[in-house]
Structure 1
Amino acid sequence: TSSSQILKKGWAFLHLLLVVSVTQAEELVCRRRGDPENPQLSKDGDIVLGGIFSFHSSWKDRQDTYMDKPLPLQCTSLNFRGFQYAQAMLFAIAEINNSTHILPGISLGYKIYDVCGSIARGVTVALASATGNEMVFVPSDVPCTRPVNVQALLGVTSSSPCMAISTVIGPFHIPLISHFATCACLSDKTKYPSFLRTIPSDYYQSRALAQLVKYFGWTWVGAIRTNDDYGNNGMAIFTDTAQQLGICLEYSVSVFRTDPPEKIQKTVDIIKASTSKVIVAFLSHMDMDVLIHELSRHNLTGYQWVGTEGWIFDFQTAAMDRHHILDGAIGLSIPKAHVSGMREFILDVKPLSSSSNELFTEFWETLFSCKLKNSKSSAENQTECTGHEDVTGVQNSFTDMSLMPIFYNVYKGVYAVAHALHNILSCNKTCNSNVQLDPLTILQHIRNIWFTTKEGDEVYFNENGDPAAKYEIINWQPTENGIVDFVAVGLHDASLPADKQLYLQKKFLVWTQNSNQVPLSVCSEKCQPGTRKVLQKGKPVCCYDCLRCAEGEISNITDSITCVRCDPEFWSNERRDACVKKEAEFLSYEEIMGALLTAASLFGTCMTAVVAFIFFRYRQTPIVRANNSELSFLLLFSLTLCFLCSLTFMGRPSEWSCMLRHTAFGITFVLCISCVLGKTIVVLMAFRATLPGSDVMKWFGPAQQKLSVLGFTLIQVIICILWLTISPPFPFKNFKEFKEKIILECALGSAVGFWAVLGYIGLLAMLCFILAFLARKLPDNFNEAKFITFSMLIFCAVWITFIPAYVSSPGKFSVAVEIFAILASSFGLLICIFIPKCYIILLKPEKNTKKSMMGKGAPKSF
């Protein structure tokens, strides 16, 4: 179709109600095209309001051949709710007409139409109410236009009809105020500029439903919606919000009351096959009734239903649930309301009988299941009724006032229009009836009104034409007589901060199958602290496995998606739900290994002291004097320091202990080896001095021996000073050696300094070993080089073995290896050099003589 044709068709659609005919005397006649639409209820007034309600819920199917003009829609299934809504509108109009405070001197009339639940009929009657059916004669030079017949439209219970009607009447700026159309899409003022409502938008209800589901920990739910704008848009918002809150839908299906039985059965099969135990039902009460009927046939109980205001507080739906499928249902409803006099007015059906005899007859016969005299009803086997029966004695949906909050919404809509008219007409004591009413002006004033009803509720509209969003949380609680009681157990106020919007009294809740325990509906059980969630491949995010956190990682909340690594000084406990401080490990005196090494060190010190005492006691004996007693005492002193320096390696490392242990070890061992080296040189020089003409001993006398020991030791002192100055050892926490422990050790600082100290000790030890080895064949009686050789052999073996053992030993064992090396080498020197002499001094005194020392013996091989 070309753009010009589209424009022509659009223009024809907007002017579908008006046609121009040329009659006699060049007079124009404006009349409505098509069959006239007459209101079911009407009353004249200075200002007329329109009403659109469904007095019937369906219509008879027909097969149009398009050969003849289609017959008017034939409505069926009387709907008492439509009558209640109409009565609420009439009650508000009656109050305003009797009031001296609002629209004084102005009477309101009404024209109320029946749409039978048909969207097409809703559009038709909306246009009819705006233009009327009367023919208007106008001069030839005047355009064929007429003023709007009604100043505002009220009613339309569902969202889809509202969308269609608003699209058509929007360009004319005729206000449409709905009491029950909740689709969030109607808040779009670019599409529906003249639409307003007295019930909150589903944008808030859908989000509130998602928060309610999250509150009870239901993360795995099913969803059923009405297959129209109300259900589809509402469920779309719920789904988006649910995903943000971590809720997953196992299934999402749509139903409609006119669906074939096979489709309804398929929905039931989906519910039966599901694993979720919570069903979110975004349904109108008529669709819910159809679904309940099918669920009852299969006796599908045990599901927790979460509902919207469309059915959650509908007495008719509760009455149909004879198998108690919906017991324990919870959902959102419009807050309870009480309007004085409204219940009595609704039950007074006189306006119905005075306005529409045909409609009243059908209503009365259906209400009392009887047949009036002169009735055209085809029903048989019914009792005859007079038309004066007592309505209050009937128990059905018409006398049920559970929908009073919705009736109150109709009431507030009428008053919103009245207050806008009051402001436009500048009403004080009387209204200025000469003001020309314009739909756009009325619409603008309605958008800006702010008033308080006689019940104390504030009424206003936001920029989208929506009221404030506030809901009661309703719980279906069965009573002893089998009737469901709608109990308010909480509130949801969207105007409050997010963390305060939902308020619930959990102790008053009753759940499905009359249980007091909150139902569980999850795809996977909660992951306890100490575990993390891992998604199952190909499944929603709510389906997961729980994996235990790795060593050194924890999770201390339920359903954690990650495990957090502990700080270096902490480690995970056995349950992996808390970080505990790592055990600090170091070689201490209290543990067995430390105690044994300490005992060995003290034993070596005592043993050295005993040897020193023996040597001091027998210092004048030949064997002591012949072996350079001054160097012997200095060697014993240095050995004492070697034994004691091992103690500095034990205990908690500190800055001073780290510097002391290595330097004390290096200096004392060099002092010790220097003394041994001095004794070895003395032995060699002594035998060389016996050669004829040799004066070598004058170059290595006692003073030179002391200076050599001092010189050798001074070199080590200088190395240690440089080490401590440039990069000294320091206490270090080793986190890498053991995951669950902290190894407290001394870092070397400068590795070059450490190996320089050890290297210098090794150099002296090797030099001493070589010299002692060269002197091994000297006569035994004068020769202690053999014992020095043995001691140096042990010393070098110990320290050569020490290097790989030290490098490979973990934690405190490396310190133990170093202490063991110190003690082993010290005991080797002490035992090899001094024990043989102590044996002679104590046990072989006959050999401790000058003659024995001066005796010549044949050299023995080593």
Structure 2
Amino acid sequence: MVIKFYQHILALVFTINEINENPKILPNVTLGSHIYDSYYNVKMTYRTILDLLFKAQRFVSNYKCDTQKNLIAVIGGLGSETSFHMADILSLYKIPQLTYGIFAPEDMHTKKVPSFYRMVPKEDHQYMGIVRLLLHFKWTWVGLLAVNDENGEHFVQTMESLLSQNDICLAFTEKVEKKLFWNTLSAISFFTSRTYKSLADHKINTLIFYGESMALITFSACMFFSDPGYYTKATLRKVWIMTAQTDFVLTAYQRTSNFQFFQGAIFFTVHPKEVLGFQKFLECMKPDWKQGDGFLRVFWEQAFDCTVPNPPDLLKDKGLCTGEEKLESLPEPFFEMHMTSHSYSIYNAVYAVAHALHAFHSSRYSHRAIAGHKRSECHDVKPWQMHRFLQGISFNNSEGEILSFNSNGELDAGFEIMNLITFPNQSFHTVKVGKVDPNADKGKEFTINGDMLVWQANFNQVLPLSVCNDYCMPGSQKKKKEGQKFCCYDCIPCPKGMISDKKDMEDCIRCPEYQYPSKDQDGCVPKVITFLSVEEPLGISLASVAVSFSLVTVWVLGIFIKHRNTPIVKANNRDITYILLISLLLCFLCTFFFLGPPRKLTCLFRQSAFGIIFSVAVSCVLAKTITVIGAFMATKPGSNMRKWVGKRLTTFTILFCSLLQTGICTVWLETTPPFPHFDMQSLDEEIVAECNEGSVTMFYIVLGYMGFLSIITLVVAFLARKLPDSFNEAKFITFSMLLFCSVWVSFVPTYLSSKGKYMVAVEIFSILASSAGLLVCIFSPKCYIIVLRPELNTKEEIIRRKN
């Protein structure tokens, strides 16, 4: 006999007495009970059910004699197998059966039992609670011990699927028998050695135990047989997660055992409430050896390790039961003074039957309540008539809790999560630390207070880890180990440009565009906005060069204006010279469009201004070259070039070439104008504030046209370099255009290979270098003569040199 389960009988008796003494429910009916034991045996289960239905010495179906029992419902059993064995017979007679044990939900589908009512919540909620509990504490490498029957197999299959979906692995799965008697010692040894080895794995600190109380008793007994001191070994101390089927119970033969091994266990239970008067009922209980309770003698002897005297008033030997023993003196593993969850389910089951019977009578009779007097008037009640009232029942029990069945005949409720605290004197205490409430608001179905939990002593009240390997730290990601479960993995650094900012990330991620990975790749750092500023060394250098050459250009222009009437200035069309110098001055100054933060106006006009001004400058150089060739050809006898030589040809050349570039730039600005833009991709650690050209094609068309003019000018100047003229500039123009073309040919690959502000710096340098090349190569020889050798700048000297 399992001593602790005797409370189930006492709960039944207490509840029936409470109802019979209540004038508000069944005032004219007295409830009674018959109590039978299944002995965890199929044969005895069927026998007791037949004994319940038929009073004859021989069991003959459908034959009744002796006193009428008026059976209206059956409560039981604790285990699923016992319940369904009972249902095999009870369902034939449509007798309502209210079970108070929890078992796998597929049993309800495989065994169609319409007379079944379960005083426990749906077990699916328990599955969800276990998974949420593991996820809450980040336990991903757990062991599972399940009872060796159909329910255990279903639990294993269901949990494997659910755990896999939530990235949790089962390190091992062991079957636990629920029998106290084994055929051979070798069978026990085989089971314990395999289980002992699994439990000793230091990586597995969380274990799920699924099974009824007999399975836990068997497991504890086998572990003790394998190693009597197993419960003291730190390597075996784990976090146990128990399902609601399990009671922490010991048999009379395990008096030297305790539950220190299960210290800190987390278990699910049907939420019990301390029913008013029940504990006092237990405290006042005195055994009456003559009463009709056939289990009392066995219970008392095993609970208090004594022998019941017969007759009790004659023998007073040592070791005999006196009847003065107190139930509260028994440790919790043997008997609990507060109402257990299973006893509470029995309490509610009795009330459910009473309320259903009350509703039945109310629907048929208009009875009068007579306080203090009850007589049996239920002989006309048939068990099958109770179903209609049980299915729609909803009532408040004495504790104010609303009870009702759902469409599947299950109690519409959830589970409570408890924590086991053990003591050296074989006693224990349980503390509520959370709950599973399927009827709660979304996101609040599962709650737990981790700060209230008490762990095994070897964990030093630090949250235990239960993982296959250490967590992958930020900056790394998981890599699956070949041939092992997915919870076992290696940690590898994140690829370049990616980060992981949490532990155990499956894949590294990229930072947002405006951030970049930190040095350790464990976070993102904001990028710095950058542009070519006049306040940094590179910007200051380029601006200084631009200002210097602008001043030189102004100086040269001043010299040419001052000496405008000298032969060397008047030669080759001084108006073109002025235009060229002004164009070069604007070329140097237009570099300031490229310095500083990009703005709408500067972005809109800087490339167009640069393209048009440079086209004017190159057009002037081309006009100068054409002037030299035209002048030479006009001197030949009979030449028609005389009418073209002069301002008409040069003006046409400059206007035509410049207006063509102006037209290209106008189309560009009208269709896809440049605009300010933040480039977040080019550089890893910087955001480049730049001008987006709008259309890269139009940008290269502008450059291409300028290159085309430069090549034509270079070719024409090269052909005219040896023409006989004292002031032939073609040789200087040839060299300047060769330098000019070299700069811009080098510009394209350099520009494309540069990033950020250095792209702008490359373009500014090309503008300054090409402009400076034109200024120096074309005007330095003339300035040398005008400033340093003025004696050569005379008409006589020119004629002498020509002759």
The amino acid across from 2:73 in the alignment is: A
1:292 aligns with 2:233: no
The alpha-carbon distance between structure 1 residues 755 and 242, as it changes in their structure 2 partners (threshold 3 A), is: closer
The amino acid across from 1:662 in the alignment is: Q
1:178 aligns with 2:99: yes
Deviation at 1:124, TM superposition (A): 1.4
User: 1:477-526 CA distances to partner (integer Å, 9 max, x unpaired)?
Assistant: 24476743222333333322352233333333210116321111112444
The amino acid across from 1:535 in the alignment is: K
1:486 aligns with 2:486: no
How do residues 326-341 of structure 1 correspond to structure 2 at under 5 angstroms?
326-341=262-277
User: 1:207-240 CA distances to partner (integer Å, 9 max, x unpaired)?
Assistant: 3233223222212111112224554445554444
User: 1:567-605 CA distances to partner (integer Å, 9 max, x unpaired)?
Assistant: 555544445455555555544433433332222222111
How do residues 389-404 of structure 1 correspond to structure 2 at under 5 angstroms?
389-392=324-327, 395=330, 400-404=336-340
The amino acid across from 2:267 in the alignment is: G
2:278 to 342, 357, 362: 342
1:453 aligns with 2:363: no
Structure 2 CA distance, aligned partners of 1:704 and 1:434? Answer: 130
Structure 2 CA distance, aligned partners of 1:266 and 1:767? Answer: 93
Structure 1 residues 190-199 or 758-767, which shifts more? 758-767
How do residues 42-191 of structure 1 correspond to structure 2 at under 5 angstroms?
56=1, 79-133=2-56, 150-185=71-106, 187-188=108-109, 191=112
1:406 corresponds to:
342
Preserved CA contact (<8 Å) 2:144 2:209: yes
Structure 2 CA distance, aligned partners of 1:102 and 1:626? Answer: 130
1:437 corresponds to:
381
Preserved CA contact (<8 Å) 2:677 2:692: yes
Structure 2 CA distance, aligned partners of 1:700 and 1:487? Answer: 111
2:242 corresponds to:
307
Structure 2 CA distance, aligned partners of 1:117 and 1:123? Answer: 11
Deviation at 1:465, TM superposition (A): 2.6
1:476 to 401, 404, 420: 420
Structure 1 residues 756-765 or 215-224, which shifts more? 756-765
Deviation at 1:749, TM superposition (A): 5.4
The alpha-carbon distance between structure 1 residues 166 and 264, as it changes in their structure 2 partners (threshold 3 A), is: farther
2:663 corresponds to:
718
The amino acid across from 1:308 in the alignment is: T
Say which SS state the counterpart of residue 487 (structure 1) adopts.
strand
The amino acid across from 1:327 in the alignment is: Q
Deviation at 1:334, TM superposition (A): 3.4
Say which SS state the counterpart of residue 801 (structure 2) adopts.
coil
Deviation at 1:776, TM superposition (A): 3.6
Say which SS state the counterpart of residue 144 (structure 2) adopts.
strand
How do residues 420-819 of structure 1 correspond to structure 2 at under 5 angstroms?
420-425=356-361, 426=365, 427-429=367-369, 433=377, 436-479=380-423, 483-513=427-457, 515-566=460-511, 568=513, 570-576=515-521, 582-584=527-529, 586-654=531-599, 656-687=601-632, 697=642, 699-702=644-647, 704-725=649-670, 728=673, 737-738=682-683, 741=686, 753-754=698-699, 756-778=701-723, 781-819=726-764
Structure 2 CA distance, aligned partners of 1:108 and 1:154? Answer: 14
Preserved CA contact (<8 Å) 2:54 2:60: no
Deviation at 1:624, TM superposition (A): 2.5
Deviation at 1:171, TM superposition (A): 1.8
User: 1:108-129 CA distances to partner (integer Å, 9 max, x unpaired)?
Assistant: 3332223322122012111220
2:785 corresponds to:
840
**Greater relative contact order (Cα 8 A, min sep 6): structure 1 or 2?**
2
2:147 corresponds to:
226
Say which SS state the counterpart of residue 469 (structure 1) adopts.
coil
Deviation at 1:606, TM superposition (A): 0.8
Preserved CA contact (<8 Å) 1:250 1:274: no
Structure 1 CA distance, aligned partners of 2:700 and 2:347? Answer: 98
Structure 2 CA distance, aligned partners of 1:239 and 1:395? Answer: 39
Structure 2 CA distance, aligned partners of 1:100 and 1:757? Answer: 105
Preserved CA contact (<8 Å) 2:732 2:778: yes
The amino acid across from 2:448 in the alignment is: L
The alpha-carbon distance between structure 1 residues 524 and 780, as it changes in their structure 2 partners (threshold 3 A), is: same
The alpha-carbon distance between structure 1 residues 408 and 831, as it changes in their structure 2 partners (threshold 3 A), is: closer
The alpha-carbon distance between structure 1 residues 273 and 410, as it changes in their structure 2 partners (threshold 3 A), is: same
Say which SS state the counterpart of residue 474 (structure 1) adopts.
strand
Structure 1 CA distance, aligned partners of 2:324 and 2:674? Answer: 108
Unaligned runs of 5+ in 2: none
The amino acid across from 2:369 in the alignment is: K
Preserved CA contact (<8 Å) 1:268 1:294: no
Structure 2 CA distance, aligned partners of 1:220 and 1:340? Answer: 43
User: 1:622-645 CA distances to partner (integer Å, 9 max, x unpaired)?
Assistant: 333345433322221122122223
TM-score (norm 2): 0.85
TM-score (norm 1): 0.79
The amino acid across from 2:278 in the alignment is: M
Deviation at 1:565, TM superposition (A): 4.1
2:120 corresponds to:
199
Structure 2 CA distance, aligned partners of 1:786 and 1:196? Answer: 112
User: 1:737-791 CA distances to partner (integer Å, 9 max, x unpaired)?
Assistant: 5455555555655666555544544454444444444444455744333323332
Structure 1 CA distance, aligned partners of 2:328 and 2:72? Answer: 38
| Structure with greater Cα Rg | 1
Structure 2 CA distance, aligned partners of 1:412 and 1:723? Answer: 86
Provide the alpha-carbon RMSD of the alignment.
Answer: 3.8
The alpha-carbon distance between structure 1 residues 351 and 463, as it changes in their structure 2 partners (threshold 3 A), is: farther
Deviation at 1:669, TM superposition (A): 2.6
Structure 1 CA distance, aligned partners of 2:59 and 2:702? Answer: 122
The alpha-carbon distance between structure 1 residues 452 and 748, as it changes in their structure 2 partners (threshold 3 A), is: closer
User: 1:30-52 CA distances to partner (integer Å, 9 max, x unpaired)?
Assistant: xxxxxxxxxxxxxxxxxxxxxxx
2:292 corresponds to:
355
The amino acid across from 1:118 in the alignment is: N
User: 1:807-827 CA distances to partner (integer Å, 9 max, x unpaired)?
Assistant: 444454444333333322222
The alpha-carbon distance between structure 1 residues 273 and 567, as it changes in their structure 2 partners (threshold 3 A), is: closer
User: 1:130-189 CA distances to partner (integer Å, 9 max, x unpaired)?
Assistant: 122168999xxxx96778763322242222111111122212111222333444345449
Structure 1 CA distance, aligned partners of 2:382 and 2:617? Answer: 118
Deviation at 1:560, TM superposition (A): 3.7
1:821 aligns with 2:766: yes
1:253 corresponds to:
174
The alpha-carbon distance between structure 1 residues 612 and 476, as it changes in their structure 2 partners (threshold 3 A), is: same
Preserved CA contact (<8 Å) 2:279 2:338: no
Say which SS state the counterpart of residue 605 (structure 2) adopts.
helix
Structure 2 CA distance, aligned partners of 1:196 and 1:351? Answer: 34
Q: Name the count of aligned residue pairs.
A: 773
Structure 2 CA distance, aligned partners of 1:245 and 1:273? Answer: 23
Deviation at 1:731, TM superposition (A): 5.4
Structure 1 CA distance, aligned partners of 2:747 and 2:335? Answer: 102
Preserved CA contact (<8 Å) 1:472 1:492: yes
The alpha-carbon distance between structure 1 residues 724 and 148, as it changes in their structure 2 partners (threshold 3 A), is: same
Structure 2 CA distance, aligned partners of 1:764 and 1:399? Answer: 107
The alpha-carbon distance between structure 1 residues 328 and 833, as it changes in their structure 2 partners (threshold 3 A), is: same
Say which SS state the counterpart of residue 333 (structure 1) adopts.
strand
Preserved CA contact (<8 Å) 1:639 1:672: yes
Preserved CA contact (<8 Å) 2:148 2:178: no
The amino acid across from 2:209 in the alignment is: A
User: 1:815-840 CA distances to partner (integer Å, 9 max, x unpaired)?
Assistant: 43333333222222222222222222
The amino acid across from 1:217 in the alignment is: K
Deviation at 1:285, TM superposition (A): 2.7
Preserved CA contact (<8 Å) 1:283 1:308: yes
Structure 2 CA distance, aligned partners of 1:788 and 1:399? Answer: 114
